[in-house]
Chain A
C-alpha cells in the first residue's frame, strides 16, 4: 500500500514545484509569528531593566548580560543547583517510568488475571483527577515516612508505575504487537520475563522513546509538586526558583525574571532540537496505533 512516504509521479512533482516558494513563504511567515514571542523574550532579557518597559515591537536598546548575572545569584543558592535538581529529578523519573510502565503495560496487555479490567479502569480513571485533589493525602503519606524535602516524593511514584498516561500509551502499543510472536517464544519454552525482555520490549521502542521524552519534559516543567515537597532552596527545581523570583510587590525588575525564564526554557529547546525526530515520530506512531 502506497502512502505519502513513497515517491510521487513526475506530473505531481512539477505541479508542486511551481507553488512551493509561495507555500514556503506563507509557512515561514506563520512560523515567525509563532516563534517571535520567544525571540522577543530573549532580546528583552538582554536589555537593562529601565529600557524594557518601552521595548516595543522590535526592541531598541542596549545589550547587557546583567540580568543573567544578577538573576543567577538572586536567590540564596545559585541557579546551578536548581538546574542540577531539575535534571536529576527528570532523569530519575524517566528511568522509573521506562522501567515500571513498560512492565505494567505488558502485564495488562498480555496476561489474563481476575480484576484486570478493574485495574485498567482505575489506571485510566486517575487520568481524570486534577493533582490538587491528591496532593494533601499524598503529602500526609510522604510526611509520615519522613521523606519530605528530598527527591523521593517526586521520584518514587515514577518507580511505582503511577503515570497512567504512559501505561495507557504502552498498552495500546503492545496490543499492536502480534501475539504470534509471543506464541512462538512460548513454544520455545520462554517464560513471561523472557518474552517481555527479549521480544516485546525491543518492539516497543517508539513508545519507550515517547515515554522517556515526555516524562523528561513534564517533570522539567512540573511546578506544584516541587513547590510543596521541596522546602529549602538547595532542593528547588528551576520552575520553583523562577516563581520565587516573582514576588508581587517586590523591587525586582522584570529583566532578570525574563533572563531566568530564558534559561529555564533553553534546556528544553536544546533537548528538543537534539531529539526532535524521535519526539515527533514518537507521537505520530504511538498516536496512530490502537
Chain B
C-alpha cells in the first residue's frame, strides 16, 4: 500500500540526500563531472576561517535569539493565561508576526526598519538615543536578525498557552490554598508541568534557527555583510555552492550542519532527563 509513497520518498528525498552525501566527497563544479577527492573537503573545512566564522555567527544567533524568544513567549503566555477576556484576539494577534517571519517581504521590511533613517532609529530618537546604521555595523547587524526572530514569538507562545491550559486547576488551587505565592507556584508547579512544552519548543526553534537562511540573505543581500557578521551557516553554504560553484564543498558543509544539529538535539534530549517532568512518569 505504501509503494507509491516509498518511491516518492526514495526518489525525491532519499536519492538526493544520498547523492549530496556522495557529492561531499567530490570536487564538483556543476560544469564537469564530479571528481572524487575523499576527505579533502572536510579537511579544508576545518582550516577555513569563514567556516568557523559562519559557525560562530550561527551559534551566537541560536544561543541569543531562541532563549529570548522563548522567554518572551512564556511570559506572554502566562500573562494571557488568566481567563482574560479577549484571549482569542490577543493570541491570534501576537501570533501573526510568526506567520510572516520567514517571508521575503518581511526581510525587506526589516531592512527598511533598521535603515539609518528607519523606524527603529526614529523610535530611539524619541528617547534621545542616537541609533547608528544598524545594517552596516559589524557588532549591530546580527542584532537585527535576532530581533526579527524574537518578534516571531507567537508560535511558541501558543504552544505554551495550550500547555498551561492543560494544567489541572485543582493543582494550582491546591497550591494557592497552601499559601504559596505566585512566584513559588510558578517555579514549583507551573514550570515543571510545562517542561515538556519547553523542551518541544526549544528543540524545534533551535533546529530551525540553525537552518535560518531567507532573512540573512535578504538583509545582507546575499553577502553576509558587514564583515561576515550576518554570515549564517546556510548562507555561507549557499555562497560556496551557488556563487562559487563549489558544490562538493557545499555538500560537505551541509552534512557538517546535519551532524551539528543532530548532536545538539541529542544533547538536548539527554539533558532533558534532568529537568523535564512528564505527567505519566
Interface residues of A (CB under 8 A from B): 1-6, 8, 12, 16, 20, 23-24, 26-27, 30-31, 34-38, 40-41, 44, 53-57, 100, 103-104, 107, 111, 119, 122-123, 125-130, 132-138, 141, 156-157, 159-162, 164, 192, 217, 221, 223-224, 239, 242-243, 246, 248, 254, 257-258, 260-262, 264-265, 268-269, 272-273, 276-277, 279-280, 283-285, 287-288
How far is it, in angstroms, between the C-alpha of A179 and the C-alpha of B148 when the chains are bound?
A: 44
The answer on a CB contact under 8 Å between B93 and A31 is: yes
- Which 3 residue pairs across A and B have the least CB separation, nearest first? A160-B8, A284-B162, A137-B16
CB within 8 Å of A: which B142-188 residues = 151, 155, 158-159, 161-170
Return 15 A-B CB contacts under 8 Å, by A number.
A4-B81, A129-B20, A133-B250, A133-B251, A134-B13, A135-B16, A138-B12, A156-B12, A161-B8, A192-B1, A221-B104, A257-B108, A261-B105, A284-B159, A288-B163
Please provide the chain B residues from 232 to 277 with a CB less than 8 Å away from any CB of chain A in the complex: 234, 237-238, 241-242, 247, 250-251, 254-255, 257-258, 261-262, 265
- The smallest beta-carbon distance between A128 and chain B, in angstroms, is 5
Per DSSP, are chain A's interface residues mostly helix, strand or loop, or mixed?
Answer: helix
Are A103 and B5 touching (Cβ within 8 A)?
yes
Contact of B83 among A8, A27, A157 (CB under 8 A): A8
- In the bound complex, CA of A157 to CA of B67 (Å): 34
Give 1 or 0 for each of B1-15: 1 = CB within 8 Å of chain A CB. 110111111011111
Interface residue B80 (Cβ < 8 Å from any Cβ of A): yes
Chain A residues, Cβ within 8 Å of B281: none
Nearest B residue to A257, CB-CB: B108
Q: How far is the CA of A85 from the CA of B241 in the complex (A)?
A: 28
**Inter-chain contact total with CB atoms closer than 8 Å:** 245
Interface hit among B42-50, B132-140, B206-214? B206-214
Task: Report the Cα distance A36→B221, complex, angstroms.
Answer: 24
User: Chain B residues near A37 (CB, 8 Å)?
Assistant: 109-110, 113, 119
A34 close to B80 (CB less than 8 A): no
B92 within 8 A of A: yes
Count residues on chain B whose CB falls below 8 Å from chain A CBs: 92
| Cβ-based interface call for B97 (8 A) | yes
